[in-house]
């Protein structure tokens, strides 16, 4: 049952209760990062990049840390719950806020599903008689009805846990996260007992062409598509719960850094140990066939398979503990992500993208309606391809796209809200902010062409929703003309996407002809430009500022899609841009988008109100502190006089 709530304003974040300590905040992030990623990412990365997967984890960790730096400044300045979808609006207005928010919301509501899929996949791999898994196109996925029904039941459990409130969530998560740190650490230490150096030296350092690519390029692609970025982007959990963290000026930066470095260290240890423990004959894969691991018997449970293959009784016995963790770790990450998705939906409702009903709280201080919506939409991800390996690339791209917002928001807000208190101020921001933006842009590019097609199809298709709903709601466009333009756009969008054959295709899709690719790219770009030009003509001047503030993001998506189409990770047999020229081109697209974003950011009215609110609050606190100091001084004077009087009386 929900309680009545006040009108939706930025001050409404006071309804969240600041109960989380530093450890609890950091463990929200760590708990999310050490989920299904540690169970499957080591094999996925090895299959793509071979032994160089270790370097992939280091690259991924360093890029994540650079991306996270900007979040520490904006997160402490504006400690909101669901903050990641609210900052883009505050810095660039409605269009950027909608596209970024939708991207992050889709990633968050799909994450509980992929964690449930991971837990069931591991159990189904160890106990095939349960009938939880089936194989499609060489990839294991949940079976219908048994596997999917069990997955939906897990989703219900995630929802019920979240509805009890943030205090129960954080207290339970503390002990679960300790377990999730200990078990992976013990696992890689045990695997070192069967370490075989020849796996690093005798079978090709960069793998043998997993996902169709070989050489150093595969090492970078593994960062994006094998689950590395997916696992490490969990640092944003601290930002999602920023409105519930005690002492945010201290705990948000420390929590963010901690929940990058701790999982990164564990994952590197796991990757090294797993590579050294691979038993090719047990996996029924030819030595050095790294790409073959993804379709081997080890794919359903890589670490348990490595422990079983060791031949040591102790390692075999530890599989039972690993199986418990294979259920607990993804499940714990799943309910954390569902809680994050609820707060993201809350943030979108605050910005008027979603209905205001999603801001309603239950008596435990949880946005219950938003949590239920996140649960329902998350369940839909069991429909197309309930496989961890199939979903991880798309989710990674959506997550990373939303995280690049802080880099530009930081610099724009320094210009538009210079008086906003900043408990943590990023040093050398003029260098680190664009570095974080480019880092995120590169990870998005490395996700590959098919993943970018799916992401772009959803996000840029949602331009029509912005026109009909958000822009019309604010009175910037008339709903009738906006709807007519949007319908025409969507008809063309569906035709282009359908004719291309790229949407929902597998990463190894073969290009029929270069004409197929040219038709898709030209059609996509022309349709988007035509729609935005038409919407510009229909929009009042105030709304035009919000449109201009989002052009850079549309350019970034279309630019990376184009480079990907003709680059190393695209469908062309002989790419026009080979590695590393393609990666350099993707960096150039990212830098252009970054400086375009800096130029078009502006001060929305809510940002001005927030700045005034925070300044007034700081001044009030200063006055109260001064009054307390004055009172303390007066009391000290009175106490001194009393001591003198008493001393005189004693003397007499």
Which tens digits make up the pLDDT trace of 465-511?
999 989 998 999 999 999 999 999 999 999 999 999 898 787 777 77
Average pLDDT over residues 549-559: 97
Per-residue CA distances from 434 to 253, 408, 586 (Å): 19, 8, 14
Least-confidence region, from 3-17, 245-259, 522-536, 550-564:
3-17
Paired tokens of 578: 């080979």
Average pLDDT over residues 422-438: 90
Paired tokens of 167: 């205090």
Paired tokens of 500: 């291309």
Name the DSSP letter for residue 81.
B
The backbone torsions φ and ψ at residue 20, rounded to the nearest 5 degrees and listed phi first, read -80, 130
Q: What is the pLDDT of residues 38-90, one digit of tens each?
A: 888 999 999 999 999 999 999 999 999 899 888 888 877 877 765 677 789 99
Q: Is the pLDDT reported for residue 137 higher than 60?
A: yes
Query: pLDDT higher for 180 or 638?
Result: 180
Per-residue pLDDT band for 647 (boundaries 50, 70, 90) equals low
Question: Helix 541-566 crosses helix 429-446 at what angle (to 10 degrees)?
Answer: 60
Average pLDDT over residues 396-421: 89
Q: What is the pLDDT of residues 596-636, one digit of tens each?
A: 999 999 999 888 888 787 777 767 777 886 777 677 676 77
* 9: helix, strand or coil: coil
Please answer whether residues 571 and 449 qualify as being in contact, where contact means their C-beta atoms are separated by less than 8 angstroms.
yes
Please answer whether residues 278 and 47 qualify as being in contact, where contact means their C-beta atoms are separated by less than 8 angstroms.
no
Per-residue CA distances from 346 to 110, 355, 361 (Å): 16, 9, 10
Least-confidence region, from 19-23, 29-33, 272-276:
19-23
Q: How would you class 156 by CB atoms within 10 Å of its CB: exposed for 0-12, middle for 13-18, buried for 19 or more? A: exposed
Q: What is the pLDDT of residue 10?
A: 47
Q: What is the pLDDT of residue 585?
A: 96
Q: Is the pLDDT reported for residue 160 higher than 90?
A: no
The backbone torsions φ and ψ at residue 135, rounded to the nearest 5 degrees and listed phi first, read -120, 130
Percent of the chain with pLDDT over 70: 88
pTM of the full structure = 0.84
* 308: helix, strand or coil: helix
Q: What is the pLDDT of residue 225?
A: 87
């Amino acid at each position: 049952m929900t309680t009545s709530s006040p009108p939706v304003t930025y001050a409404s974040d006071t309804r969240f209760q600041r109960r989380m300590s530093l450890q609890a905040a950091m463990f929200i992030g760590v708990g999310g990062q050490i989920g299904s990623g540690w169970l499957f990412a080591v094999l996925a990365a090895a299959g793509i990049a071979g032994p160089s997967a270790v370097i992939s984890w280091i690259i991924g960790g360093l890029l994540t840390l650079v991306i996270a730096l900007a979040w520490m400044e904006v997160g402490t300045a504006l400690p909101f719950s669901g903050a990641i979808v609210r900052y883009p609006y505050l810095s660039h207005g409605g269009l950027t806020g909608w596209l970024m928010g939708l991207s992050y919301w889709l990633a968050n509501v799909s994450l509980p599903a992929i964690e449930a899929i991971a837990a069931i996949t591991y159990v189904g791999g160890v106990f095939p008689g349960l009938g939880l898994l089936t194989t499609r196109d060489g990839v294991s996925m949940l079976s219908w009805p048994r596997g999917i029904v069990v997955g939906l039941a897990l989703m219900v459990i995630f929802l019920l846990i979240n509805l009890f409130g943030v205090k129960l969530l954080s207290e339970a998560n503390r002990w679960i996260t300790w377990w999730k740190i200990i078990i992976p650490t013990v696992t890689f230490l045990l695997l070192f007992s069967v370490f075989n150096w020849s796996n690093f030296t005798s079978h090709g350092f960069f793998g043998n062409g997993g996902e169709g690519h070989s050489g150093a390029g595969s090492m970078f692609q593994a960062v994006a598509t094998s689950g590395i970025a997916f696992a490490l982007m969990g640092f944003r959990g601290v930002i999602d719960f920023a409105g519930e963290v005690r002492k945010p000026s201290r705990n948000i930066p420390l929590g963010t850094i901690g929940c990058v470095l701790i999982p990164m260290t564990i994952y590197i240890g796991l990757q090294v140990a797993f590579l050294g423990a691979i038993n090719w004959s047990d996996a029924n894969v030819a030595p050095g066939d790294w790409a073959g691991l993804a379709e081997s018997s080890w794919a359903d449970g890589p670490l348990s398979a490595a422990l079983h293959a060791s031949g040591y009784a102790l390692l075999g016995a530890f599989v039972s503990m690993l199986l418990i963790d294979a259920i607990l770790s993804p499940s714990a990450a799943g309910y954390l992500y569902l809680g994050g998705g609820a707060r993201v939906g809350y943030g979108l409702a605050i910005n008027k993208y979603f209905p205001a009903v999603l801001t309603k709280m239950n008596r435990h201080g949880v946005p219950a309606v938003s949590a239920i919506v996140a649960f329902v939409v998350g369940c839909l991800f069991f429909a197309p391809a309930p496989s961890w390996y199939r979903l991880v690339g798309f989710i990674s791209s959506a997550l990373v796209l939303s995280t690049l917002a802080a880099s530009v928001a930081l610099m724009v807000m320094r210009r538009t809200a210079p008086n906003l208190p900043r408990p943590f101020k990023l040093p050398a921001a003029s260098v680190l902010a664009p570095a974080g933006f480019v880092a995120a842009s590169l990870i998005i590019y490395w996700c590959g062409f098919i993943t970018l097609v799916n992401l772009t199809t959803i996000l840029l298709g949602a331009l029509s929703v912005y026109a009909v709903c958000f822009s019309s709601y604010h009175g910037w466009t008339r709903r009738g003309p906006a709807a007519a333009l949007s319908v025409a756009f969507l008809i063309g969008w569906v035709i282009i996407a359908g004719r291309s054959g790229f949407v929902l295709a597998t990463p190894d899709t073969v290009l029929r002809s270069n004409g197929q690719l040219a038709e898709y790219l030209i059609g996509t770009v022309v349709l988007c430009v035509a729609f935005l030009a038409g919407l510009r003509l229909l929009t009042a001047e105030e709304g035009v500022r919000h449109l201009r503030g989002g052009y850079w993001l549309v350019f970034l998506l279309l630019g990376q899609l184009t480079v990907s189409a003709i680059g190393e990770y695209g469908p062309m047999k002989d790419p026009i841009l080979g590695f590393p020229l393609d990666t350099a081109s993707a960096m150039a697209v990212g830098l252009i988008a970054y400086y375009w974003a800096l130029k078009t950011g502006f001060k929305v009215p809510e940002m001005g109100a927030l700045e005034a609110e925070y300044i007034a609050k700081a001044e009030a606190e200063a006055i109260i502190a001064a009054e307390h100091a004055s009172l303390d001084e007066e009391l000290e004077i009175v106490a001194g006089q009393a001591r003198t009087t008493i001393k005189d009386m004693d003397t007499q």
